[in-house]
Chains A and B, each alone.
Chain A
Amino acid sequence: MIIDSHTHVDRFGWYDPPETIIRLMNEAGVDQSIIMTYVDAPDVKGSIEYIAEVVQKYPDRLIGYARMNPRRGEEAQHLFKKAMEEYGFKGLKLHPAGNRCHPARQETIDLIRLATRYRAPVLFHCGDEEFTLPLQIAESAKACPDATIILGHCGGYFHTSDAVQVAERYPNIILETSAMPYPGLIKEAVERIGAFRVLYASDGPGCDPTIEVHKVKLAGLTTADQEAVFYRNIKKILDNVTSEAQST
């Protein structure tokens, strides 16, 4: 079984209808994918509802994360609650390079804490751009020790060492394999922080899930560790998510 922890469906930014990722999932042998838009809610009206509609269309294949702009404060919080409670979303996606909201800024921390009340994971775009560096995102992991913080792309091209290092420092950080071009980094991450804290993802459909699956296979993991990376870890995280906010 394979669950892809990071893919995109969108009709607002880059145009990627759900049928594109479904086709690529079928080619790659991926059973389920977590989808999100390329744009932030509530900046782009209807983006949360669009993901909800798509998940409703493919309930056995697709799982929704809400991509939000924390700068929108209470409006963002209200919409995120609606996504979790009414639409059955399973997580929060943040792309600070897009919305220019630092990972340690109070509005970001507030939104992460809200997601944590649903035990929902928080997937950050984590690469080489300003506001997305592992050391910057680590500040939010430190401020929110109960949150599950996922470093999408594992630090990109040039900040992968920092990604593994902050994951060693903060146990609530999870590393995710999409798009970064180093199979050896997956092996290193598993050895240094444990296979239970590494997730397979593709960043499809732009990055081909078939190629991204091969990247994990080339890492030379044990069968048990490979299964953990391909689906056991994310399944455990998602199974823990609730549709009602828990008291703090």
Chain B
Amino acid sequence: MILDARVYLGHSLFNYGQSLAEIVASMEHLGIDKAILAPVKPRNYHLAPMNELVADAVKVHPERFLGLCRVDPWQAEAAVEEARRGFQEFGSCGLYLDPWEENFQANSQILIPVLQEAQRHNKPVVINAGHVRVSHPAQIRDIASQFPEVQFVACNGGQINISGILQFEARRMLEACPNTVIDTAGTYREDFIEEIMTEVGEERVVFGSGSPIYNQEFEMTRVRFAHLEPAQKQRLWGLNALKIFGAKSR
């Protein structure tokens, strides 16, 4: 069973995007069973209609998709209401926060109300991590340590740095905060995935492609060719994400 834990639906203000039909076609071509859809930020900046787009996709393909609810914490009480709408009306499997595109620091106090809402609903929080000025792994660690009962998924291996210098900080985040995991998209040094799985915990990494920002087929090679045992790979391909997001195995 292969579950892609991060696939973006819609066409983004930032010049990337894909339709539901394109997502389904790619999944069928690559043998991906399930995906967790995250809304993009559209040209008109309004996230609510994109959350509805994701909810509609999940309604049409309930066996194939789960959906995240994206909110902008700068919207304060409106963001909390949108998160509540996502959890209660759409059955969103988690919250999606993007410090890079919504321009806030991952450990900012403006996150507190939306994280409290996620905690109230016992939902995981996916954060676009590794952007050093807004979602440095030390910042993710800081906010995750304030919400030990909330499960955080740090995207991009928790670190985006082609020198590898952030790996140390991403590992410190994982070791300090048992409520954090990373997804595999774009991860610098594929052996970092192997290192975390074998030395920190087999449950601490999920396969997520970050498609279409990253190439879904290429991102699968990080798991396919990882020097890990078959049982560890099964966890990576989907068992870990199933547990975190409460999805049912098909």
Contacts and interface: CB of A to CB of B under 8 A. Distances in A.
A176 B163 CA distance: 15
Contact of A179 (B185, B188, B222): B188
Interface stretch (B72-80, B212-220, B229-237): B212-220
A48 to B, nearest CB: 22
B189 interface: yes
A218 B186 contact: no
Contacts of A181: 185-186, 214-215, 218-219
Interface string A209-230: 0110011001000000000000
Interface in B162-195: 162-164, 185-186, 188-192
A214 B218 contact: yes
Interface in A153-210: 153, 156-157, 179-184, 203, 205-208, 210
Contacts of B218: 181, 183, 214-215, 218
Given A181-B214, A181-B218, A207-B189, A125 B225 contact: no
Contacts of A205: 191
A127 interface: yes
A97 B188 contact: no
Interface string B126-162: 0000000000000000000000000000000000111
Interface residues of B, number: 20
Contacts of B219: 181
B190 A211 contact: yes
Given A157-B186, A211-B190, A211-B221, A182 B163 contact: no
Nearest to B164: A206
A182 B215 contact: yes
Interface of B: 160-164, 185-186, 188-192, 214-215, 217-219, 221-222, 225
Given A127-B162, A179-B189, A214-B225, 13 more contacts: A98-B163, A127-B163, A128-B160, A129-B161, A181-B186, A181-B214, A206-B188, A206-B189, A207-B188, A208-B190, A208-B225, A210-B225, A211-B190
